[in-house]
Structure 1
Amino acid sequence: MKLLRYGPSGQEKPGLLDASGTIRDLSGVIPDLAGDALSAAGLAKLAALDPASLPAVPGSPRLGPPVSGMKNFVCIGLNYADHAAETGAAIPKEPIVFLKSLGALCGPNDDVMIPKNSVKTDWEVELAIIIGSTAKCVSEDEAMNHVAGYAVCNDVSEREWQIERGGSWDKGKGCDTFGPLGPWLVTKDEVADPQDLAMTLDVDGVRMQDGSTRTMIFGVRHLVHYVSHFITLHPGDVISTGTPPGVGLGKKPPMFLKPGQTMKLSIKGLGEQTQRTVAYE
């Protein structure tokens, strides 16, 4: 299934995308894509529905983040061998874990705001794991039982603030609109192998990132297991799993975003995002 949330920011309704590409309204079935609706039993209930029995949503409404009720927006740093190489960093011995502010979360096609005084805003296409049931100190064998599905994430980053301003990475990662997620949650049964997904990112029509989850250092199963030993994961939480090479920081010379540009991201089977960059308001 492809599950989504549509409507104005803060007023999104749950929906699903049927085989013809029509959005079907789920608000008569569940209050939101959150909590128990993301559990194995909740997803089985939705999968048993006949999409044709659900109201069709007219037009092309705004899409919001495909889950609600997130408690933790977890990110993994330097998790692609080829990306670590382009930045000159050593291969991590354990996953590098940091948190993105929940205030960064936005819809997949919402504008991305370049922060005030930013000079090094950068892009990162990433595979996001969406948690479906509470995971605390789970084994690798159990980890996938807690995964609802996957989505595309753009881990937008301000590199000066992340790297040159002292302290943790978080200050360069949590700005408003720095976490586009979606367009939908694709349930894990539709993803045969999350470690074999092509992923791309273009800026103004120029291909910047062209990679694959095959080069991830720590895979999905290990990440859910690992993170759950430090942070209890709840339904709707996200683990954004790192980015392949081609980020602006790694270009020679480095390239960074400015207002008026367009980013387009895709991951095979998970859909596309398109964002326009805008100046700080």
Structure 2
Amino acid sequence: MAKKENKDCFVIMPISDTDGYDKGHFSRVYEDIIKPAVANTDFSVTRADEVKETNFIHLDILKQLIDAPIAICDLSSHNPNVLFELGIRQAFDKPVVLIREEGTPKIFDIGPLRYLEYSKKMKYHDVLRTQAELTESINATKEAKGKQGNINSIVRLMALSNPAAIPTLEGDNKEAFAIDVLQSQMNDIRKMMETSMMENRKGVSKGSISSIEYERISNRLDRLMDSKRRMPRERHEKEFHRLMREAEEVSMHFEDKTDHRMFRYLQERIHNAMRNDLEELM
């Protein structure tokens, strides 16, 4: 029996309400622009909150993120999770259509990356025009897959020899080991994205206190996650709670909104690491 062709279009964007945007803003972008645009192609749209295949939601999302033949990424809010997922997608050299709200500052210093902009006001005719433009961009990106002219491929722009890949392994534990290798690659991408965001903020120097504290706590979290097989469960859980309290206390010393957003993201990482750790032990 022939394997069914994957026709998923995975959407990378903020799911909940975001600071600086009206309530329900990104839901409207998804429902009024993205879904109708994808409906006019051969693909079926799906977003992270709609992925519910197994109890291991984070792995299902990761699988969709890598396996989907096309993706759409909304860069409007500079959301760390969005940038992280985009980094993974780009590392595997998978096709992606980039969109953003008009007036959004550029994130990357790679000029040839192509963006589709949508209107802040999202008036009826603006929405219809953006739907058509997005449909056209999806089809064009599909046709450009694997070609040198695919200018939304960082791997090709930087002339890298090979994209990231999940290794082919033998043995009973090959899937578990492949996931470990992939997660290691993801951590490298996440660190690169976080460092870039912290160091390139307007008016914040590389050696600022917020950057130093963020990197210190982030590195401690990475070491704690790596030590879970060598540390007793109770002590491991206690260290997670201690790290969470420390991140909360440090964030209270900063007044800048961007600092608060970054430390809130760091606290989410700690929380997710705690939850995943408990799931593995159950």
Higher relative contact order (CA 8 A, sep 6+): 1
More strand by share: 1
Higher helix share: 2
TM class by smaller structure: under 0.3
Which protein is bigger by CA-based radius of gyration? 2
